[in-house]
Chain A
Amino acid sequence: MSFSLIFFTRTMTTLESLDERVLRFQSDPAVEPFLAIANDLATWQYEHVPSLRRWWDHRGQHPPFDHLDDLPAVPTDAFRSTRFHDPERVPLRTFLTSGTTSGARGAHLRSTLRAYDHGARLHFRSAVQPPGRAQWPALALDAARHPESSLSYMIDLLAADDHASVHWLLTDEGLDPRLLQTHLTPDHPVVLFGTAFAFAELLQMQHAPLHPDSLLLETGGFKGRHAEVDRATFHARLAAHVHLDPARIRSEYSMTELSSQLYTLPGERRFLPPHWLHVSTADPDTLRPLPPGSEGLLRFVDLANTDTVLAVQTSDMGRVDVDGLVNLLGRDPRATPRGCSLAVEELLALQSMK
């Protein structure tokens, strides 16, 4: 047996055992401390994920860590310029972030999705409690045709767990009115996931009222692409449009770089994270951890990111209350003023349009 094969076998075993520990912890948080698993995952990731090792070396911080907040979180933009994965492993799936003006999309390469799958099912069942015998249309792209979409993957996974299959209503051209007429009816409850953009498009279209037990799950926010709309106002308009109690409209927060999801509770604007996702805030200036209850940039330690990046730093402002619920404050609309200058690419693009 060659050295590389021995090495490969050893790392497979180690990651599998870590996966098993995370799965047990997801099912029962009493089995061992969060920090113990986090440190073992951090050690594995430091040894096997070169880009992460480079980041932590750059920050001069290495496992083990005394506190969860000591983990140097990787800013999400780094997923656009490098790949965080064990090069010895063949990725099972590559999730891509949505496109940006620069064209560089972030990629999250996954060689195991066991903790993702187990955690997504568990937290959805406990936090959302979907209606029985629901159908699952989705304002999202077909998961089979778009394997790069982590949202579509998650919807497909949750529907399968609910013994349903998904009817994908979003095409590359937008929402399909014929499919809306077919699948959005008052005859049966639906669990309807979709991005805020897709729901905004739905508001412009005619379709039948929904069954009162239906559940709408809005995800993604607007992130500056549309005029900012207060989420509560948006949900109220949506509820009126589909003839649902506003409490039947919930929000989900996650991102391609994470494996776990947060959901709002009924009648609550704050988000509930699963217990295997540690949420904290960091000082926007220094990125140092802030005490609970402080507004800052949200950062996550996600145990379900077993094979990639344990700690992720976002650009989203938020606050974690003492009860553990997360306030999403969105992005500061006062972007850095750039004076009278535009980026070169913007200028050249404008020139070419003339």
Chain B
Amino acid sequence: MTPGDVLDTLASALAPSCDALAVHTGFSSPMLAWALTTYLATQRQRLAHARAARARHTTPPPRNLLSIQARSVPTVPLDSLLLARLVGSPLTLKLPRETNHPLLDLLPVHVTSLPHESLDLTPFDAIIAYGHDATLEHIQQALQPHQRLIAHGHRVSYVLLTSTPSPDEAHRLAVDLTTWDQLGCMAPEAALLLPEVDADVTLHRLHEALLTIESLRPRRTLSPAGLAELHQRRAFDLFACDEVVEGPTHTLTLSSALPRDATPRSRYLPLVRVDAAERVLHPLLSVLSTVASNNPEHARTLVPGTRVCALGRMQFPAFDAPHDGVHPVDSLFCFT
């Protein structure tokens, strides 16, 4: 089966299931349909590119793959399944105990919910793991020398705007914000605005773009606690920030300092004026996942080793992207 066949199979399994997935996950059906379609298209494009480039890796493919999942990382089961199918490996998903991921009804995988200490790792020669750094260290210590681990710990992502975004760039940034409702480490913590950026125009354009996208692909329903947190944060920021722009399901703030504490990630983006982005990003180099920018070349000079992408591509990393500034997952495989 070619990678294209794998993607076709996956697409045909997922396409009719978005309504059911929406019920399970809380994401809106239009958002799910769009995100899954875009995800599969992205992977198709990347795989085609890799094949065309005849990229070769000397590492033999795994014979038995284990993927240890974190909560609320929606595409991870797909990533793992796709990788396993590409190399013809069986796949075991280890899920958080309470997770009942609806994709699992559609995917040909073996699922375990055993706690880490009860999980026998010996049958697996390759393990992809997402989770707390402590969890990943625990797994690493339990491995034999022949077992390979690609570990993805906790990371953060940012947007860097080097010039005032055009309406199209604002739209693509809004895509980054709304895809998977800002869950996961590839959703931006904040957008950094260099001095050349007109902050008011940026706020206005992003607000308009979010209104458009949110009307087409509504956000998911939040818990009362999440909603209460948003209301509280909005009130806090009204007095703490230079400007606050509120939409029905998004909040944009403008300030000259990074938020002191965790912002409610979903539905919220602080825009922060900075004199020099490196002052913010350099201390975070070891924990950066992704930096998206309307000037990726400039961003790459600031954060070497970090995944840098164009606006609109934050949530769709390729297999060969250095996801956490560490190993790309394609180091497990050989594309020929």
Contacts and interface: CB of A to CB of B under 8 A. Distances in A.
B303 to A, nearest CB: 15
Contacts of A331: 225, 228
Range, interface on chain B? 35 or more
A347 B287 contact: yes
A104 interface: yes
Interface in A326-354: 331-348, 350-351
A341 B154 contact: yes
Contacts, number: 145
Given A75-B232, A347-B154, A348-B283, A54 B239 contact: yes
Given A345-B260, A345-B261, A340 B238 contact: no
Contacts of B237: 81
A288 to B, nearest CB: 12
Given A75-B231, A336-B222, A341 B260 contact: no
A76 B236 CA distance: 8
Nearest to B71: A337
B158 to A, nearest CB: 9
A289 to B, nearest CB: 14
A195 B264 CA distance: 28
B285 to A, nearest CB: 11
Interface in A139-190: none
B290 to A, nearest CB: 11
Interface stretch (B84-92, B109-117, B182-190, B198-206): B182-190
Contacts of B185: 339-341
Contacts of A340: 70, 72-73, 130-131, 152-155, 184-185
Interface stretch (A14-22, A95-103, A211-219, A271-279): A95-103
Contact of A337 (B72, B156, B238, B258): B72
B225 A334 contact: yes
A74 B236 CA distance: 10
Name which of B70, B73, B156, B228 has the most chain A CB atoms within 10 A of its CB: B228
B284 interface: yes
A333 B225 CA distance: 7
B162 to A, nearest CB: 21
A338 B72 contact: yes
Interface in B236-285: 236-240, 258, 260-266, 283-284
B58 interface: no
Contacts of B222: 285, 336
A287 interface: yes
Given A337-B71, A345-B260, A81 B236 contact: yes
B262 A285 contact: no
A243 B133 CA distance: 46
A296 to B, nearest CB: 8
A39 interface: no
B27 to A, nearest CB: 12
A82 interface: yes
15 contacts: A76-B232, A297-B231, A317-B224, A336-B223, A337-B72, A339-B184, A339-B185, A340-B73, A340-B185, A341-B265, A341-B289, A343-B263, A345-B262, A347-B154, A350-B133
Interface of A: 51, 54-55, 58, 74-78, 80-82, 100-104, 284-285, 287, 296-297, 313, 315, 317, 331-348, 350-351
Sorted from nearest, which 5 A-B pairs have the closest CB atoms?
Answer: A102-B261, A343-B262, A332-B225, A336-B226, A339-B184
Given A78-B239, A337-B71, A343-B263, 9 more contacts: A54-B238, A77-B233, A315-B228, A331-B228, A337-B183, A338-B72, A340-B152, A344-B284, A347-B154
